[in-house]
Amino acid sequence: MYLYLHKHESSGAAGAQRPKDDWLPGNKPFRENRSDFSDNMVKKILRDYSAKKHLMISEEELKALRILRDRKGKPYPMFPCAEESGPVNRQPIHYSVSHSGTWWGCMIADEPVGFDLEKYREKVNHLKIAKRYFTETEYQYILNTGLNGFFKVWVRKEAYVKFLGFGLAKGLDSFSVIRDMQLSPVIVPIKKGTERGSPFCRMEGCFIEEDIEAAYCNSSGNPIKEIISL
């Protein structure tokens, strides 16, 4: 499992700050505007990842690669040979992309992963957001830990819904990332029935920069093998 990071130096469209409350359910325009940039970056990453994992993906395949999205909006790579002659017998490729402020990141692995990073912002009504979208346990945790705790909870929740492939369509109050008023390495089901059919995963935070909060989850619990700067 590898984490690729890119920091924009310019203030142009690719590195612009996201609009206020862009993370809230339903606010997708800025994310959609960045999809082309993200897709191009993922194609570059796949070339390096393929070499590291000895996947035997040809240069022709990489050039013809397309990034598609399933019915829930989760992106996945499609190689031309898979379209023409069925699945190829090679390791699966899964990835998860996130961007905030001037940072863009992509976690890629041979198993489903979820990754999220968020830049700290002071002008965030974190208690109002937590009260509306999070669980009561998470809200109480944020009351005690403030804005710092809010972002720790947020990146873990978004990493999990990315891991599932549901995006923010999944109710954020149906699970908790807090147990006994501490950040939990495993998801805590809240609503009855939410534990059924949900794959097990382990949650970890990762350090990128002082004003960035980030977290990832995967089912194996394997740590990040390498962080690569682009």
Q: How far from each other are the two terminal CA atoms of the chain, in whole angstroms? A: 16
In the predicted structure, residue 23 carries a pLDDT above the cut 60: no
Q: Where are the alpha helices (DSSP H) in the chain?
A: 29-33, 35-53, 59-64, 80-85, 126-133, 136-164
Q: Which CATH superfamily is domain 2-229 in?
A: 4'-phosphopantetheinyl transferase domain (3.90.470.20)
DSSP string of 49-113? HHHHHT----HHHHHH-EEEE-TT--EEEE-HHHHHH---SS---EEEEEEETTEEEEEEESS-E
CA angle 77, 159, 176 (to 5 degrees): 145
**Domain residue extents for the chain:** 2-229
Q: Tens digits of per-residue pLDDT, 128-162?
A: 999 999 999 999 999 999 999 999 999 999 999 99
In the predicted structure, residue 57 carries a pLDDT above the cut 90: no
Distance CA 106, CA 83 (A): 25
Cβ atoms of residues 79 and 89 within 8 Å: no
Among the listed residues 90, 93, 115, 99, the one whose alpha carbon sits nearest the alpha carbon of residue 48: 93
pLDDT-based confidence at residue 87 (cuts at 50, 70, 90): very low
Cα within 13 Å of Cα(1), Cβ side: 18
Q: Tens digits of per-residue pLDDT, 157-204?
A: 999 999 988 766 568 899 999 999 999 999 998 865 555 556 789 999
> What is the number of other CB atoms lying within 10 angstroms of the CB of residue 197?
7
Mean pLDDT of the chain: 83
Main-chain dihedrals φ then ψ at residue 180, nearest 5 degrees: 55, 40
Q: Where are the alpha helices (DSSP H) in 165-199?
A: none
In the predicted structure, residue 18 carries a pLDDT above the cut 80: no
* Global pTM value: 0.84
Main-chain dihedrals φ then ψ at residue 186, nearest 5 degrees: -130, 155
Q: Are strands 75-78 and 94-100 parallel, antiparallel or unpaired?
A: unpaired
